[in-house]
């Protein structure tokens, strides 16, 4: 039987759910997942897949603001996508992304994420596009700061393609830890 995907807001997750989620993310990112990364995935909607062994896959979508072509866009930012090691290559990451994309398409002007080299194939296969333009963030100390290290790993999705023009940068709101 195929496990079902459950969606829930962070506020609707029990402490045990959050503990299982943090354990999944710590294991999936093999020591490269910190408290700021954890915080980035809270406060939005989660897609969770459970199987007989517990939490098998997860992803979150949180609200961010991105300024593009003089307009602030409501952006659903995908965070903390992970599949338990023994549950990989069964389509669970794709099922999580289907739910997050459904939310993004209905609730936001734009969806965005930062992909690792390993994760990029999942997103491009689903129609996400690597952003070909500049990526910036609005720093509280320095204003508009270009983030060249994020260029090439920032992916976007929108049902309103005319909205985006790579001749103009994406300017993300600031947050602690990794900005993207």
SS3 assignment for the chain: CCCCEEEEEHHHCCHHHHHHHHHHHHHHCCCCCCHHHHHHCCCCEEEEEEECCEEEEEEEEEEEEEEECCEEEEEEEEEEEEECHHHCCCCHHHHHHHHHHHHHHHHCCEEEEECCHHHHHHHHHCCCEECCCCEEEEECCCEEEECHHHCCCEEEECCCHHHCCCCCCEEECCCCCCCC
Residue 1 has a pLDDT of: 64
pTM: 0.94
Q: What is the pLDDT along the chain (180 residues), one digit of tens a residue?
A: 678 899 999 999 999 999 999 999 999 999 899 999 999 999 999 999 999 999 999 999 999 999 999 999 999 999 999 999 999 999 999 999 999 999 999 999 999 999 988 889 999 999 999 999 999 999 999 999 999 999 999 999 998 877 899 999 999 999 988 887
What residue ranges define each of the domains in the chain, with the CATH number in brackets? Answer: 5-172 (3.40.630.30)
């Amino acid at each position: 039987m195929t496990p079902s995907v459950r969606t829930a807001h962070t506020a609707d997750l029990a402490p045990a759910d959050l503990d299982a989620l943090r354990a999944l993310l710590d294991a999936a990112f093999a020591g490269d997942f910190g408290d700021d990364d954890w915080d980035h995935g809270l406060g939005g909607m989660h897609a969770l897949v459970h199987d007989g062994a517990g939490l098998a896959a997860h992803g979150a979508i949180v609200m961010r603001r991105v300024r593009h072509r003089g307009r602030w866009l409501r952006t659903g930012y995908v965070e903390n996508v992970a599949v338990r090691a023994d549950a990989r290559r069964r389509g669970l990451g794709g099922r999580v992304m289907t739910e997050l994309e459904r939310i993004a398409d209905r609730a936001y002007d734009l969806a965005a994420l930062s992909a690792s080299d390993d994760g990029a194939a999942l997103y491009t296969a689903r129609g996400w596009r690597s952003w070909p333009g500049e990526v910036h963030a609005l720093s509280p100390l320095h204003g508009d700061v270009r983030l060249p290290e994020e260029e090439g790993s920032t992916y976007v999705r929108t049902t309103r393609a005319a909205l985006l023009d790579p001749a103009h940068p994406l300017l993300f709101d600031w947050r602690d830890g990794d900005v993207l």
